[in-house]
Structure 1
Amino acid sequence: MNEQQLAQTAQALVAPGRGILAADESSSTIAKRFSAIGVESTADSRRDYRELLFRSTQAMQKYISGVILYDETIRQKAVDGTPLVTLIEKAGSLPGIKVDAGAKPLPGFPRETITEGLDGLAGRLKEYYDLGARFAKWRAVIDIADGIPTRGAILTNADALARYAALCQEANIVPIVEPEVLMDGNHSLHRCYEVTETVLRAVFTALYEQRVFLEGIVLKPNMVVPGMKSGHRASPDEVAAATIRLFKNSVPVAVPGIAFLSGGQSDFDATANLDALVRAAPPWPMTFSYGRALQAAPQKAWSGKPANVGAAQAAFNHRAHMNSLAALGQWSESAEKAAA
């Protein structure tokens, strides 16, 4: 393990004004999103869509620090034969890779899941490093509902995250540690706070026990928000106050940066909430690691038509620019409208 290399990579991923593009949708997930815009999901159509993102010069060179890829994508080549990884590297971004095998039912714990993928991970990480990956992602999923999450499910997922992180660092790959408390339910902001605090404390205890080098990770958590079915919408200032207070109580200052997931928030809300978080002057660099919140607009603009590539790239550049401003604490609704 090269601690200096890991620390430098982690710092690059959370560099000021830059964030991470999560383009690691599984084949089944991207098929659903393509279906919504009337596009058949094939290896070629998936490549064409992701290639247009990676060739979006302004976004990739100025606003995107890294790109999380799916196993298929890290092996694909552009239409002209250039590896997609090379396009990312030439733009000055870091290629990354999703390495988990998804959340599966946790035996003995109804309605709860465990993320799988540890078997054979050391060998896969070596291959991914050779393919160009310099960071990786593993997502643990924690749901809030009556009677859940249980302590057993939280500890099991925390242990898996920590073991994944240790394996990554042995391969000189920076682990993105992603414990996502879902915002799908009808819970309050306070309930989200309580659960997220419990989860983060369990995760960092497990990371410590697995001897993970904290200066060589990036934390990818949820923001503290009420459930989508709660009937309450928290303001950006409310989200920022609760999230910063929670993290000060749960996240070691050794962590080089926090890259938030959007978690189902709208494009606008994800940007506005990130801006409020950064304006609150947290003790860590804070940025974005968004999937849908960066891609919904370009996917719709593209709709599978080659003639729409320019419009899709413009939409991607716009959303990346707005989130870059948010990561600097410089976003505003007027800036959003002016740039649009």
Structure 2
Amino acid sequence: MSTYFNCPSRSVIDELVHISTMLMSPGHGILITDESPLQLEKKLEIFGIECSEEMRAQYRNMLFSAKETMSDYISGIAVHPEVLDQTTSNGCALHCQVRRKNILVGVTVDKGLVPILCSYGEFTTQGLDDLAVKCAEYKDCGCDFTMWRAQYNIGEFTPSYLAIIENANTLGKYAAISQSKRMLPILEVDVVPSDDNDLERAEKVTETVLTAIFKSLSDHHVSLEGTLLKVPVLNSGSKCAKRYSPGQIAKATLRLLRHTVPAATGGVILHADDNTEDKTLCQLNAFAADPSPKPWPITFCFDGTMQSSIFMAWAGKSKNIEKAQQDLLKMLGAFSQAAQGTYVPGSMKSLANQCYCKKPLKAFKTKPAPLPDDCVKYEEISRPPPVLAMSAKTEQPEKLEIEISKEQTIANDPAPNLSVENVEKVENVENVENVENVENV
């Protein structure tokens, strides 16, 4: 195997390490506002807000124009490419408001999930075709990092080897292209639990997935110092009989990360969504308070599923902007405390916790189109054959005894009376020597 290849230059690596250090500042997280226009309109519709491009711009402007103290809690904001073309009422670009607060801006560059052929409900991510051109444009617009999402579904026979290798190779190519344009890649690895898997099953699946991903990063000569990993905390399925405490989940997740994530990695971004803000904050606080070794910096992300109280406070009205911004800063401050292990359980009381059921928020996650009916599913080609229990008594000896008794009856009667009833008996006997006598009937 040839060992001659080109690696990223030292100037590129130094720039990526500088971006990584800024994003992983202690006590700072990343605000995720990368919803597509369709996803954001679904949110607006649920909260009774008018769905239009103008309202999408107003909502994002409300987030980005918060007070300067927002930079005390977050170090970066991930946006959808649509945001880079939107402006405020005075003609200023929306994302420029964030950059003035010394907050880095990133953009989600993937183009969504597509089904893998002949798989059992598994997907890969598309968007590599013109990625290099897009990254160069985003860098010119002032963006410093990119995000790419890969999804793995935990099931009885999933994720399959095909899905693991396909997504790992795609992530490796994406990271190499992003770093070549001097933009830090954030690998968003989304391992979706099934209804009944336990914590041990989730840990084993995630370990296998992350091992393949970092092998692919090495094959594509990606600089780990200039790469961040975004993963969800391990959790069991909703119908699992076992229940785990935040401390147990934190220990299992940190053990998994130490087994799979090299120490040279720039950092780990944890995604926790435990139905309510307070439970999520308690989960993040458990990670910070856990004394287990952490060879890489760890921070949090504040994504769309945690922003329901902000929608409720804003309600699409200009007079409520300041109120919604105060709620946002309050929420970010609590997440910053949890990232440092100083959050007091029960101290965060948001509007969503008090009067809103978050089950409808599950619809925010875009689900790819189902597979066609005539597609061969992975279950049909890989499911092992059922194992039948062996009975104590088989039917074969009885059949042999009946055949032997019939042959003895025919042999004892040299000139059998071959009536119609006898013919029916002869038909069930194999290898009868007097078959010629049947022709006379």
| TM-aligned CA deviation for residue 146 of structure 1 | 2.4
In 1, are the aligned partners of 2:64 and 2:97 still within 8 Å (CA)? yes
Other structure's SS at 1:172 match = coil
Please name the residue that 1:333 is paired with.
345
Q: Distance in 2 between matches of 1:90 and 1:197?
A: 40
**Change over 3 Å in CA distance of 1:184–1:323 after alignment to 2:** farther
Please name the residue that 1:212 is paired with.
222
In 2, are the aligned partners of 1:31 and 1:41 still within 8 Å (CA)? yes
Task: Indicate which of 215, 221, 230 corresponds to 2:231.
Answer: 221
The runs of 5 or more residues in structure 1 that have no matched partner are none
Could you tell me the TM-score, scaled by structure 1's length? Answer: 0.95
Please name the residue that 1:283 is paired with.
295
Q: Distance in 2 between matches of 1:189 and 1:268?
A: 22
Q: Distance in 1 between matches of 2:122 and 2:175?
A: 22
Please name the residue that 1:230 is paired with.
240
Could you tell me the TM-score, scaled by structure 2's length? Answer: 0.74
Task: Indicate which of 314, 328, 332 corresponds to 2:326.
Answer: 314
Q: Distance in 2 between matches of 1:177 and 1:101?
A: 14
Name the stretch that deviates more: 150-159 or 231-240.
231-240
Name the amino acid aligned to 2:315.
Answer: S
Other structure's SS at 1:336 match = coil
Cα RMSD (Å) of the superposition? 1.8
| TM-aligned CA deviation for residue 40 of structure 1 | 2.4
Q: Where do residues 130-145 of structure 1 align in structure 2 (5 Å cutoff)?
A: 130-145=140-155
In 2, are the aligned partners of 1:302 and 1:308 still within 8 Å (CA)? yes
In 2, are the aligned partners of 1:141 and 1:181 still within 8 Å (CA)? yes
Q: Where do residues 221-300 of structure 1 align in structure 2 (5 Å cutoff)?
A: 221-230=231-240, 232-262=242-272, 265-281=275-291, 282-300=294-312
Task: Indicate which of 72, 78, 81 corresponds to 1:71.
Answer: 81
In 2, are the aligned partners of 1:138 and 1:177 still within 8 Å (CA)? yes
**Structure with larger RCO (C-alpha < 8 A, sep 6+):** 1
**Change over 3 Å in CA distance of 1:307–1:186 after alignment to 2:** farther
For these two proteins, the number of residue pairs brought into alignment is 339
Q: Where do residues 167-178 of structure 1 align in structure 2 (5 Å cutoff)?
A: 167-178=177-188
Larger Rg: 2
% identical equivalent positions: 34
| TM-aligned CA deviation for residue 228 of structure 1 | 2.8
1:188 is the counterpart of 2:189? no
In 2, are the aligned partners of 1:139 and 1:180 still within 8 Å (CA)? yes
Task: Indicate which of 151, 160, 165 corresponds to 2:161.
Answer: 151
Q: Distance in 1 between matches of 2:274 and 2:164?
A: 21
Please name the residue that 1:82 is paired with.
92
The runs of 5 or more residues in structure 2 that have no matched partner are 1-7, 354-441
**Change over 3 Å in CA distance of 1:232–1:310 after alignment to 2:** farther
Task: Indicate which of 20, 23, 29 corresponds to 1:19.
Answer: 29
Name the amino acid aligned to 2:281.
Answer: T
Task: Indicate which of 283, 298, 315 corresponds to 1:303.
Answer: 315
In 1, are the aligned partners of 2:113 and 2:123 still within 8 Å (CA)? yes
**Change over 3 Å in CA distance of 1:158–1:266 after alignment to 2:** farther
Q: Distance in 2 between matches of 1:181 and 1:68?
A: 20
Please name the residue that 1:29 is paired with.
39
Please name the residue that 2:414 is paired with.
none
| TM-aligned CA deviation for residue 157 of structure 1 | 0.6
Other structure's SS at 1:247 match = helix
Q: Distance in 1 between matches of 2:340 and 2:63?
A: 23
Q: Distance in 1 between matches of 2:246 and 2:147?
A: 27
In 2, are the aligned partners of 1:64 and 1:320 still within 8 Å (CA)? yes
1:198 is the counterpart of 2:208? yes
Deviations 1:194-236 (A, max 9, x none): 1111111111111111110000011101111112343554221
